[in-house]
Each structure stands twice: as structure tokens, then as C-alpha cells.
Amino acid sequence: MAEVSAGNPCPFLRALVAHDYLDDGVVPLPEVTRTITRVAAAGEGDSDLPDRAVRLIALIANGISPAQLVRNSRQGLHLNALRDGPLDKHGAGSRILDVKVHVNESELDRLDTFASDKQRPEGGTERGLDHAEITRYMEANYERARGHRRRIDRKLMNGEFPELLRVIGRDGPQGRYLPLDDVRRLFIEQKLPQRILDGLKQL
């Protein structure tokens, strides 16, 4: 696994770097867009992401000043310089990763309190979160951040766990859900689910 800079606080992007799908430095926007949409397409169910939306997020991730937007458009996304950018919620989110990208196990345990047992597609059960449970989790995180949150932080949350549900979620008999074991592996080991890796080999 490749080493990932602490300047990249996004668990999904950290996994893409660790798996050598993206470089830890500057990556051209077309390559970022192509890689993210390809990984999403390797997931189960309707996990396709619109290219235009992915490219727009990548364009503004390092800053939204005119000069920065021009620089990002020409050079690419600086994955090792996402910290303190416009998408950084500064503790108003999950708080699973701290500013030095150390994993806070107590926050993973807290995430579990919002989850429930889900039926696996192949049988059996596992802990996971469906869309409603993820929404309750995000609302609780936003409420917890009262006093140092921004109004936009709640909207930014919609680009995290709901998108993880879309990209690495599973379609069980009771609907789509995000397995907690996959979330833990993503944060702690910077690894994508094996089914995603297997799917990528077939694309």
C-alpha cells in the first residue's frame, strides 16, 4: 500500500492513493474524474457517479479563489493539500480522523450506535447503515458542532457518507446499506472492499 499524506483527510481518496489508483501529489482533473467514476462503477447496484459533478468538486477542493480555480484547472487536484480547503468541515463532521489523520476508535464505535443489523445479499447479517440511518448520523454530527459549525457544513456532509453508501454500499434484501466493516477498513487500513477491487479487474 502506498503512503498517503496527512494533507488528504478524505477516507475514500486516501484509499485510492493507498491502492495506487491516484498519486499522492497533483493529479490532472480528467484523471481524478476518470478514476473516481471507474471505482464507483465497480460497485454493486446503481453506483455510477456523474462525471461533471466529480470534476466540479475536484476543481474547487483546493480553493475557490479565481487564481486557485485557474491553477487547479491547469495543473490538477493537489491531493496532499486538501486540509483546510473549502470542503474541510474542521470537526463539524464525523471526527473519525483527526487533523493528523489518526483514527478515533471511539467515533467508529459511535457510528455503530446509528447502525442496525442488515441482511447480506448472500445470506446472514452484518452491521450497516441505510440512507435514513446515515441521515440521522449526519444530523447528530451537525447538532454536536453547534457553536463552531458553518451552514454549508451540513450540505458538505451529503458528499461523504451518502456517497460512500452509493459507491461501496451493498444491495441487501431490505435495501441498500453501508457495511460498517467496510467503513472501518476504509478509515483504518485505507482499503477498498474486496468486491470493488475484484470489480475493477473486470472493467
Query: What are 172's strand-pairing partners?
Result: 175
Among 27, 26, 3, which Cα is nearest to 15's? Answer: 3
pLDDT at 92: 92
| Residue 187 contacts residue 108 (beta carbons within 8 Å) | yes
CA–CA separation, 200 and 194 (whole Å) = 10
Burial code of 178-196, b = ≥16 C-beta within 10 A, e = fewer? Answer: bbbebbbbbbeebbbbeeb
In the chain, where are the structural domains located?
Answer: 1-88, 89-194
SS3 for 113?
A: coil
Quick check: 48 pLDDT over 70? no
SS3 for 28?
A: coil
Residues 36-40: what's their mean pLDDT? Answer: 92
| Residue 22 contacts residue 32 (beta carbons within 8 Å) | yes
Residue 51 banded pLDDT, cuts 50, 70, 90: confident
CA–CA separation, 133 and 105 (whole Å) = 20
Packing angle, helices 51-60 and 29-41, rounded to 10:
130
pLDDT in tens, 108-118: 999 999 999 99
Q: Express as a percent the part of the chain with pLDDT over 90.
A: 87
pLDDT at 45: 66
Query: What are 78's strand-pairing partners?
Result: 26
Residues 48-62: what's their mean pLDDT? Answer: 86
CA–CA separation, 84 and 82 (whole Å) = 6
Nearest-5° angle of CA 184, CA 190, CA 195?
75
Residues 147-170: what's their mean pLDDT? Answer: 93
